[in-house]
């Protein structure tokens, strides 16, 4: 059911993107034709007509970009204001993440909490722990299977009827069965993963140094401080139970990428910003080059 809802969500999102792209394309076609008609109608020398067309197109592009930037700033500020209100009771430090995302860092009940909101609206919520193994839990389907393959985990077969709707992958079967055998841990996992309202798609990863809850396709207006408190409390309860179990027989360490993804994604933001600026500069340079090339071919 989770993947079916997600497929509908993605389908609707793709349709919106297609309609938006088609609308922008129509605007450019209408503007281009209008500029040609205007250039031909104006009492100006023939050599100046391409300048009118090119200048008009550049003006339209500038206005569209300016409008997109203004819309992005307004929506980003609205999202930041809304999310800051949710995280304010926990004294977590908030700052920008990527172009329109938000990140929060701080201590809750003595444990480091790191949260990242990004386009979707998607949430990666991390709670620091002392774990040295991997266990992933999610709704049955290809998304959970693919995530487990990346971490080279193995499917864990369970007999509990309450867990039949979930797929569980692990590196240490014995340790994982002990964790799932705890009734409180089992109820926490079911509460976090099984209840997925709307188009939400959730999965949870126990990994070295942290427990991660991924919540995809959140509704911004539905997120409350109570939701956050419930998630953090459940993750804390699960971490306490997991850390009290006997150590795993095959301990693993967190990779540098995992550690950076959890504690500091600023380097990723800088890379995306630099790449975007580079692409924009290349596009502008290309347009200028094409313009002068066309002008030189005119008599």
The reply to whether 298 and 252 lie within a common domain is no
Residue 296 lies in a domain: yes
What pairing do the DSSP bridges indicate for beta strands 135-139 and 166-170?
A: antiparallel
Residues 139 and 283 in one domain: no
Does a structural domain hold residue 24? no
Secondary structure letter of residue 125 according to DSSP: E
Domain count of the fold of the chain: 2
For strands 101-108 and 122-128, give the pairing. unpaired
Q: Judge if 236 and 176 occupy the same domain.
A: yes
Mark whether 129 and 113 lie in a shared domain. yes
Residue 230 lies in a domain: yes
In a domain, 16, yes or no: no
Residues 276 and 214 in one domain: no
Q: Are residues 132 and 169 in the same domain?
A: yes
Q: How many CA atoms lie within 13 A of 4 on its CB side?
A: 1
The answer to whether residues 284 and 209 belong to one domain is no
In the sheet that 135-139 helps form, which strands lie side by side, from edge to edge? 93-97, 101-108, 111-118, 122-128, 210-216, 201-207, 135-139, 166-170, 154-155
120: domain range? 95-264
Q: Which residues pair with 101 in a beta bridge?
A: 97
Q: Is residue 260 part of a domain?
A: yes
The answer on 269 and 259 residing in a single domain is no
Q: Do 119 and 198 fall into the same domain? A: yes
Residues 121 and 260 in one domain: yes
213 with 289, same domain: the answer is no
- Evaluate whether residue 257 is within a structural domain: yes
Beta-bridge partners for 113: 106, 127
How much is the pLDDT for 185? 94
Q: Render each residue's pLDDT in the chain as its tens digit; 299 residues.
A: 455 555 565 566 567 767 777 787 788 778 778 877 887 788 878 777 777 777 777 787 788 778 877 887 888 888 888 898 888 888 888 888 877 788 999 998 899 999 999 887 899 999 999 999 999 998 876 655 555 555 556 788 888 888 888 888 898 999 999 999 999 999 999 999 876 666 778 889 999 999 999 988 888 877 888 888 899 999 999 999 999 999 988 889 888 888 888 888 776 666 666 777 777 777 777 766 665 665 565 45
Structure tokens at 72: 């992005």
Does 298 lie in the same domain as 161? no
């Amino acid at each position: 059911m989770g993947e079916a809802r997600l497929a509908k969500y993605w389908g609707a999102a793709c349709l919106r993107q297609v309609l938006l792209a088609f609308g922008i394309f129509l605007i450019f076609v209408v503007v281009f034709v209008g500029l040609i008609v205007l250039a031909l109608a104006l009492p100006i020398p023939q050599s100046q007509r391409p300048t009118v067309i090119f200048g008009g197109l550049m003006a339209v592009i500038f206005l569209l970009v300016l409008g997109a930037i203004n819309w992005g700033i307004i929506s980003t500020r609205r999202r930041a204001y809304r999310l800051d209100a949710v995280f304010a009771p926990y004294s977590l430090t908030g700052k920008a993440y990527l172009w329109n995302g938000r990140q929060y860092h701080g201590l809750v009940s003595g444990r480091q909490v790191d949260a990242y909101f990004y386009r979707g609206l998607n949430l990666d919520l991390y709670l620091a722990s002392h774990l040295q193994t991997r266990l992933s839990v999610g709704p049955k389907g290809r998304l959970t299977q693919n995530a487990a393959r990346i971490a080279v985990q193995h499917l864990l077969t369970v007999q509990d009827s309450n867990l039949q709707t979930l797929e569980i992958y692990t590196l240490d079967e014995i340790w994982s069965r002990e964790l799932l055998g705890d009734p409180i841990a089992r109820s926490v996992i079911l509460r976090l993963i099984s209840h997925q309202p709307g188009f939400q798609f959730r999965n949870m990863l126990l990994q070295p140094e942290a427990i991660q809850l991924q919540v995809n396709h959140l509704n911004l207006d539905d997120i409350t401080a109570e939701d956050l408190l419930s998630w953090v409390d459940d993750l804390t309860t699960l971490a306490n139970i997991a850390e009290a179990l006997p150590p795993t027989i095959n301990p693993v360490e967190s990779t540098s990428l995992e550690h950076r993804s959890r504690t500091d994604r600023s380097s990723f933001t800088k890379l995306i910003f630099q790449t975007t600026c580079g692409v924009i500069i290349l596009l502008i340079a290309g347009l200028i080059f094409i313009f002068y090339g066309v002008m030189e071919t005119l008599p």
